[in-house]
Amino acid sequence: MTVEPQQRPSAASYVYDRLYIGGEWIAPASTGRFEVINSATEEVMGSVPEGTPEDAERAIAAARAAFPAWSQTTPEERAACLDRISEGLTARQPQIAALIAQEVGMPYLHANVIQVGLPAITFTSMAEQLRSHSFEEQVGNSLIVREPVGVVAAITPWNYPLHQIAAKVAPALATGCTVVLKPSEVAPLNAFLLAEIIEAAGLPAGVFNLVTGTGPVVGEVLASHPDVDMVSFTGSTRAGRRVSELAAGTIKRVALELGGKSPYVVLDDADLQAAVISGIGACYINSGQTCSALTRMLVPRARLPEVEAIAAAVASQVVVGDPFHPATTLGPLVSETQRDRVRGYITQGLAEGAKLIAGGAEPPEGLGRGYYVRPTIFSEVTPEMTIAQEEIFGPVLVIQPYDDEEDAIRIANHTIYGLSGGVWSGDPERAKRVARRLRTGQVAINGGTFNPVAPFGGYKQSGNGREFGHFGFEEYLEVKAMQF
């Protein structure tokens, strides 16, 4: 197996023994370490400090001390800082993409565009938003002003690690907030590279702080601390509930981007070949480790055999393997725990009577090392089955037949989630009509692509608040009315 030279990851190990707090790389309060595992080889590729409550307290204090001055900087000063961060990400894009491909398992060619390219765009777009945003307006005898919310705790996941960091850090910095970032301990190394870029960009001490640690240890301090004004969390719905509980003690603002079980409604006038190919791609991206993945394909009952044949053929063409091989389209999952969890769902689907038409719980052939799962498709899945209700977070698609359009909408909305969705139809107006009835924060119509400046977030137990663009910017602002 050969790899293009520019795609080959560095053999160097990423070992960080300090945290970035108050503009300095300082020793943590304990000697505990997190080892970071290469998802394709199962080898240790780096390590970071295991942060403590004391480390979190120091980071919060640094952010609080930096807030008064940073909040009073001009929009152009802050925008220039964001531009420099974006330029730093772009300059180190191949290195960061290779790192995240190893941490998470996304094929390098995709990681380069998605896992690093999108974060660079987010910093640039927030700089542009900052330059055009109106922070004051006159309403009658009142001057309405928008001010930064304060100290923001950003708690981020492992699946799109840098992308989700940028979604929180960029608008927080743009609006004049200061930040304490706690990345996932499963894929934290990219956050240290970002901290290096932010340091080089010349942000004042304490404006951005990085503390690694677990949710129960560091995350709970950030969510509950009285000197934190807002917590922005992306992760599981279960963990989001805990964040909300802790934040309620100080009535701080909470933004949550949580789980999904997103429906993909293929209407009876759709081009089935195009719709199924697009839908499987939208399910399997990042090995299915995507909260907004379209994991439930709803199809007309009369056309179910045709859909099954197309889906099985498409799945057979998926190339599972080394993220650095140019032909790979499906890499490993992030960890042994995640791999075993996904295989458990596949086994449960079989036990509950779902029809397996591709894949299965057995390891892919020839891949004895690495956290790989076969691209799997179930059909004849009923709404009450576990695999139709719970977020699997792996390359597992479920096909659900429906009787008519009303039945499709009912099934589509029949989960606790509402993050994303999709509709495919030969009639764009019909697709839009159905899309309006899906209780989801986003809907892709006929394969519509992700827009990095459109609002992203969910209905129901997929969370609250929005990220990206104008709506994501506004999340970090307070509104004050001054009467004259």
Which residue numbers are catalytic?
257, 291
With a CB cutoff of 8 Å and minimum separation 6, the contacts of 233 are: 155, 223, 239, 240, 243, 254, 255, 256, 257
Give the separation between CA 17 and CA 244, rounded to whole angstroms.
31
**Nearest alpha-carbon partner for 179 in 273, 277, 64, 280:** 64
SS3 456: strand
With a CB cutoff of 8 Å and minimum separation 6, the contacts of 218 are: 51, 52, 53, 55, 56, 182, 211, 212
- Determine contact, residues 44/15, Cβ cutoff 8 Å: no
SS3 473: helix
With a CB cutoff of 8 Å and minimum separation 6, the contacts of 456 are: 167, 257, 292, 441, 442, 466, 467, 468, 472
Residue 378 phi, psi (nearest 5): -110, 145
Handedness of CA 268, 312, 324, 166 (dihedral sign): positive
Residue 385 phi, psi (nearest 5): -65, 145
The β-bridge partners of 182 are 155
E strands, 86-159, in order = 136-139, 142-148, 151-155
**Nearest alpha-carbon partner for 468 in 186, 124, 190:** 124
Count the Cβ atoms, other than its own, within 10 Å of residue 54: 12
Tokens linked to 269: 């006038």
Q: What is the DSSP letter of 116?
A: I
93-104 and 161-175 helices, crossing angle to 10°: 130
Residue 348 sits at the vertex; the CA angle it makes with 342 and 354, to the nearest 5 degrees, is 110
